[in-house]
Amino acid sequence: MREAYIVTSVRTPGCKMGKGAFKDTRPEDLLTFILNTAIEKTPNLSKKDVDDIMVGCCFPEAEQGLNIGRIVGQMAGFPVEVPGATINRFCSSGLEAICQAALRVMAGWAEITIGGGVESMSMVPMGGNMPRPHPEYTRTHPELYIAMGVTAENVAKKYEIPRQAQDEFAFHSHMKAAEARRKNLFTELIPTPAVRYVLSDNDTYKKETFIQDFDDGIREETSLDALAKLKSAFSVKGTVTAGNSSQTTDGAAASVIVSETKVKELDLKPIAKLKSYALVGCRPEEMGVGPKYAIPKLLKLAGLGISDIGVFEINEAFASQALYCVKALDIDIKKVNIHGGAIALGHPLGCTGAKLCSTLLANMIQTGSKYGIESMCIGGGMGAAALFELCE
Amino acid sequence: MVRKIRKTAVIGAGVMGGGIAAHLASAGIKTLLLDIVPLDLDEKKKNDHGERNKLVSSGFEAVLKSRPPLLMDRNDAELITLGNLEDDFEKLAECDWIVEVVIERLGVKQDLFRRIEKVRKSDAIISTNTSGLTLRDLSGGLSKEFKQYFLGTHFFNPVRYMRLLEIISGEETLPEVIEFVCDFGERILGKGIVLAKDTPNFIGNRIGVQQIIMAMQLMHEKGLSVSEVDSLFGPVLGRPKTALFKTCDLVGLDTLAHVATNTYELVKNDEQKDTFKLPVFINKMIEKKLLGNKTGAGFYRSEWIEGQRVSKVIDLNNFKYQKVRETQFECLTKAGNADTLPEKIKAVVYGKDKGARFAWRVVATSLIYAASRIPEIADSIVEIDNAMKWGYNFQLGPFETWDAIGVEKSVNKMEQEGFSVPDKVHKMLQDGSRSFYKTENGKILFYDFDTNNYKEQKVSESIISIAALKAMDKTVKTCKSASLVDLGDNVFCCEFHTKMNAINKEIVDFLEESLDFTDKNGAGLVIGNQTAISPGAFSAGGDLRLMGDMARQKNFDDIEQFIKNAQGVMQKSRYAAFPVVAAPYGLTLGGGCEICLGAADKMVAHAELYMGLVEIGVGLLPAGGGCLNLWKKFIRHVPEPVQGLDFAKFFAPVFRNIAMAKVSSSAVHARSLGFLGPEDRIVFNIDYLIGEAKKEVLRMVDAGYSPPVKRALKVFGDAAQGVIHMELNNMLAAGYISEYDEFLAKRIGYVISGGEMRVDGEIDEEIILKLEREAFVDFWKEPKTQARVEHMLKTGKPLRN
């Protein structure tokens, strides 16, 4: 197989659902902006050269429905000949889109593809607008549709992840993110136009555009005490709280994937190669353990060991599951989510896989790590993991 | 001119002021709440808006946090604007009514009124909520114009829940102002109005506190304990469960002492003046900060012992708390066996034991005191009785109590024991009048000391008393559990009168007879009843004992027949050729709620409405049409062209109301839960309820009533099952519900969604009734349901199994 090179990988800020900067910004607009930015940041690339746009989305309906992959290609000014698709694998949708896009290049079926992700949790609620689980199947297997918070409790209970450890993990996520923001280390983050409705001089509301240039969920002022005071959010006597869970967030991200031929032809400087991608299923009621199985499967495919990996981006759906996976795989915690994770930066569902890719690549460059792994757990009981290799 | 209250102001954001402002807001009136700028602000804080409003803000916060809530609907908090007496004083110029509730200091209040005089609208009403100062002193030196619009409006705490509003006219107050405030207070604020005179502590607190302090003095003398006194002065005498000392704990000993001392100093010519002298133990308790609920300990204190809350009572000899022991007075046993309240009271006051002798002394002294205060504090016995019923939650006022124990018999006993009975009472008996109240030609008359004759009790035209109508032989039909009463104008009222107005077989049958009767003879029907107890119960639900017995004997066919019959009557009522209006108030649960939802075209509900379908608590579901009719209530108003709706959005709240046994905390809340719809009305004064329901019937008749047409009903269908299974699994896993709750809730969801039917399908509504019945009988067969029912009957509390 051919190699697939990621030449550009960018993201919007992650902003809090319902009250954050993107609450009134349509997901198509976030995605349009980030696609155009990816193109602009890739020298010598013109839109007509793109073979396909694949967009991950967790709940592809309403504002982000109607095949947003195709819609946004057109909104962003790609010629009609450039197709687009929406990819869904719940929380790994963004990564899935990048990997499928890359695979097309690797197979020789395409030269240049874009993989990305988008989610406006403000506009489309988790679970979608109209969930309709199967009436008979749920009688015997309701856990296939289990609430994510309950799975986090299950993991905490079964694998004995105490409240204090979860809160500490959450605290560090905020502190790392706050420091990274202070030091401008989020080099993959692109200041993004956002919309708000303001009362204008003539007493009617008007749309106003402003630029959002930071992740607005980071709580620099939080403390272990403050986190310890929160009530359990998903269970009567639970340990999982709003503070040690990921934030619900809006955002978009995109990566440009190019074949070796085109890298040379367009004189591009690739960041990294996508080496391999592994998926695995697990029990739905403890879906958070997914990375624990996906990462070893990935390493086996690549013939590498845990110690070969310089940096990890493991999605912090919940502190309980993220911490459990890190411990169970004996990963050096200093290599994990070095600039904070979803507890501080947010988990915009279908965007997350694409967003973490851009963050991981930026962190690989900063740390000079040859190998980096991105991994996450997935609702319904799955784990995904992808291996990237830094280009010299 | 038609006087309007567009905006009110309440000055003073303490407990009373906050309570008054909240109640005004609940009644939909814009209210400006003001308090002083804190006195201790430093230079920097002096210019800070927030700091300047600190006192009023914290008073307002206390309103929002109050439990039970002072506001009927939190959204109404928007109607209250906050301010301080320096920056916002000019805003008083916009107010039509200004209520003063500041600290009880003459000088402070006088200064405030002088300032108000300068800014007030020329016709703005100014009232004081003072309890101890006289209007004469307060308005001294103010202009005649001010005095014409100045009066006393004495609310009771907590304002939302205590009905009494004493209205006190000053010497120069315009009669039209008094009349207006009486009507406004009664109709808009729902209060029970008592006209009081400008005497210390007016009526309620004068009579009430005299009795409390006198009883305290006497108990010391007679060697009774706190809990012994409370066992005598509670429900057995028709008084609230808080009896005497728990009431003191609620009010606060400091407040009580303040009122008593204030009265003692002001009532120079009161022959019982010394009965306001505080016993030594009260002062000691105040020193020790044992002020009652506000300091966590008073006469009683709650302690947590091994995770259980234990109530302990004070020993006044050493101020230590000990466990409450059952008191053993013979008179209480006797009263316990008595059926009616008058018999219970007689058993106590005419008993022979130590407790009975004490109770007699207190009651007799208090009755004599009340009679001696006319005309000093009130024109007639009616004001005193009403003040005690509405301000102290007594079921019977002093003179009604006197009638209950027999005026002649008790006066003889008083005489023998050396009590000095007022001449006016002797005169009444000598003239051959044997009671303070009597009914004649169906009218309730009271004995007027002024004319030595009976007079008719005047009430607002909007008030219909079912009891009075029954006394006028307006009962058309009756049985042990219910009666049909002629309200006039061809409107009839089906009244329940079982314990807590629980629905039994007899009521169901009687309702059907009432429908037949009205169909033949009437224009429309009201389903409603009245009570003297606050908040009371329109109906606390179905009679569980009846069905429990059937279930124990495995007579499931009888249960099915009973419920089928009940459904049939509901449907018959709903589709009758005449309008039916239900008038719920207070507890309206289970079957009571189903009647309102299912049998009536609309509801005229009292503002204090605790409505819900709580059957799941006893392992059942609403099967008298409750599932069907709540669903219909939710989707009834969707216009026909609206297609492709997501019924899940309608289904979820209906399901939650029933499966989580949601109960409203007010009528407005019932509306936001969806139990009340746009067609239903809310009435603030409970005495107006039947009258307003009757008016509603007549309006519908006038408008040309035609019954609803039974059409196919849209349901969510089996898509609901998937949603329910998913949600219940989450709740079970999280520990919010038990496995049996899950079992019950699944079936309830099945019923509401129309069973096995395609999503958004249309069915005959009788199908849901059939599903209700089947589930109901199946539930009764479950041992866990039977255990829940048994536990409820035994303890009055739900069992979670």
Q: Each residue of B59-96: pLDDT tens digit?
A: 999 999 999 999 999 999 999 999 999 999 999 999 99
B391: left (phi over 0), alpha (psi -120 to 50) or beta: alpha
Q: What is the average pLDDT value for chain B, to the nearest integer?
A: 95
CB < 8 Å to B736, chain A:
235-236
Q: What is the mean pLDDT of residues B679-689?
A: 97
Q: What is the pLDDT of residue B607?
A: 97
Partner residue facing A131 (CB), from B723, B730, B733: B723
Q: How far is CA A231 from CA A228, A235, B27, B65, B83, in A?
A: 8, 10, 36, 20, 35
pTM of the shown model: 0.92
- Tell me the longest C-alpha to C-alpha distance in chain B: 83
Query: Does A147 reach chain B within 8 Å, measured CB to CB?
Result: yes
Nearest-angstrom CA–CA distance, A282 and A260: 36
| Shortest distance, CA B754 to any CA of chain A (angstroms) | 13
Nearest-angstrom CA–CA distance, B358 and B384: 23
| Shortest distance, CA A132 to any CA of chain B (angstroms) | 6
Residue B1: pLDDT band (50, 70, 90) is confident
Nearest-angstrom CA–CA distance, B536 and B521: 31
| Shortest distance, CA A142 to any CA of chain B (angstroms) | 5
Test the B interface: residue of A138, A143, A240 with most B CBs within 10 Å: A138
Q: What is the mean pLDDT of residues A251-262?
A: 98
Nearest-angstrom CA–CA distance, B725 and A147: 12
Nearest-angstrom CA–CA distance, A294 and A281: 9
Nearest-angstrom CA–CA distance, B422 and B258: 29
A58 is catalytic: no
**DSSP letters along B521-590, please?**
H-SEEEE----SSSS-EEE--B-HHHHHHHHHTT-HHHHHHHHHHHHHHHHHHHT-SS-EEE---EEEET
CB < 8 Å to B652, chain A:
none
Nearest CA in chain B to A152: B734
Q: How far is CA A329 from CA A157, A299, A336, A359, in A?
A: 18, 12, 12, 22
Contact B722 A134 (CB under 8 A): yes
| Shortest distance, CA A238 to any CA of chain B (angstroms) | 8
Per-residue pLDDT tens for B335-353? Answer: 999 989 999 999 999 999 9
A351 is catalytic: no
CB < 8 Å to B723, chain A:
131-133
Q: What is the average pLDDT value for chain A, to the nearest integer?
A: 97
Q: Which residue has the tokens 């706190």?
A: B226
Nearest-angstrom CA–CA distance, B201 and B77: 31
Contact A235 B734 (CB under 8 A): yes
Residue B115: pLDDT band (50, 70, 90) is very high
Q: What is the pLDDT of residue B203?
A: 97
| Shortest distance, CA B6 to any CA of chain A (angstroms) | 26
Residue B511: pLDDT band (50, 70, 90) is very high
Q: Are strands A249-259 and A15-16 parallel, antiparallel or unpaired?
A: antiparallel
Q: B768 pLDDT exceeds 90?
A: yes
Q: Are strands B762-763 and B713-714 parallel, antiparallel or unpaired?
A: antiparallel
A141 is catalytic: no
B67 contacts: CB under 8 Å, gap ≥ 6:
none
Q: What is the pLDDT of residue A157?
A: 97
**DSSP letters along B440-481, please?**
ETTEEEEEETTTTEEEEPP--TT---HHHHHHTT-EEEE-SS
Q: Which of A58, A91, A282, A351 is catalytic?
A: A91
Amino acid at A16: K
Nearest-angstrom CA–CA distance, B630 and B632: 5
Give me the residues paired with residue A311 across strands. A372
Partner residue facing B729 (CB), from A135, A143, A236: A143
Partner residue facing B718 (CB), from A129, A135, A238: A135
Alpha helices in B580-646 (DSSP H): 591-598, 626-635
Q: How far is CA A64 from the centre of its chain?
A: 16
Test the A interface: residue of B725, B753, B757, B759 with most A CBs within 10 Å: B725
Query: Does B62 reach chain A within 8 Å, measured CB to CB?
Result: no
Chains A–B, number of C-beta pairs less than 8 Å apart: 63
Termini Cα distance of chain A: 20
Contact B759 A132 (CB under 8 A): yes
Residue B217: pLDDT band (50, 70, 90) is very high
CB < 8 Å to B720, chain A:
135
Nearest CA in chain B to A134: B722
Per-residue pLDDT tens for A175-226? Answer: 999 999 999 999 999 999 999 999 999 999 999 999 999 999 999 999 999 9
Nearest-angstrom CA–CA distance, A315 and A148: 14
Nearest partner of B219 among B301, B131, B151, B316, judged by Cα = B316
CA-atom Rg of chain B in angstroms = 28
Q: What is the pLDDT of residue B444?
A: 85
Nearest partner of B595 among B575, B565, B617, B573, judged by Cα = B573
Contact B728 A142 (CB under 8 A): yes
Q: B137 pLDDT exceeds 90?
A: yes
Contact A237 B735 (CB under 8 A): yes
Nearest CA in chain B to A154: B733
Per-residue pLDDT tens for B384-437? Answer: 999 999 999 999 999 999 999 999 999 999 999 999 999 999 999 999 999 999
Per-residue pLDDT tens for B300-338? Answer: 998 888 777 888 999 999 999 999 888 889 999 999 999
Q: What is the pLDDT of residue A350?
A: 98
| Shortest distance, CA B261 to any CA of chain A (angstroms) | 47
Query: Does A42 reach chain B within 8 Å, measured CB to CB?
Result: no
Is residue B139 within 8 Å of residue B146, measured between CB atoms? yes
For residue B662 the two structure tokens come to 């949601």
3-state DSSP call for residue A314?
A: strand
- Which one-letter DSSP state was computed for residue B799? -
Is residue B60 within 8 Å of residue B33, measured between CB atoms? yes
Q: B534 pLDDT exceeds 80?
A: no
Query: Does A239 reach chain B within 8 Å, measured CB to CB?
Result: no
Query: Does B635 reach chain A within 8 Å, measured CB to CB?
Result: no
Length reported for chain B: 801
Partner residue facing A234 (CB), from B729, B734, B759: B734
| Shortest distance, CA B648 to any CA of chain A (angstroms) | 8
Query: Does B757 reach chain A within 8 Å, measured CB to CB?
Result: no
For B481, other C-beta atoms within 10 Å of its C-beta total: 21
CB < 8 Å to A130, chain B:
646, 648
Query: Does B575 reach chain A within 8 Å, measured CB to CB?
Result: no
Contact B648 A236 (CB under 8 A): no
Nearest CA in chain B to A145: B726
Contact B721 A135 (CB under 8 A): yes
- Which one-letter DSSP state was computed for residue A370? S
CB burial class (10 A; 0-12, 13-18, 19+) of residue B350? middle
The tally of CA atoms less than 13 A away on the side-chain side of residue A332 is: 10
Name the helix (H) or strand (E) containing A210: strand A205-212
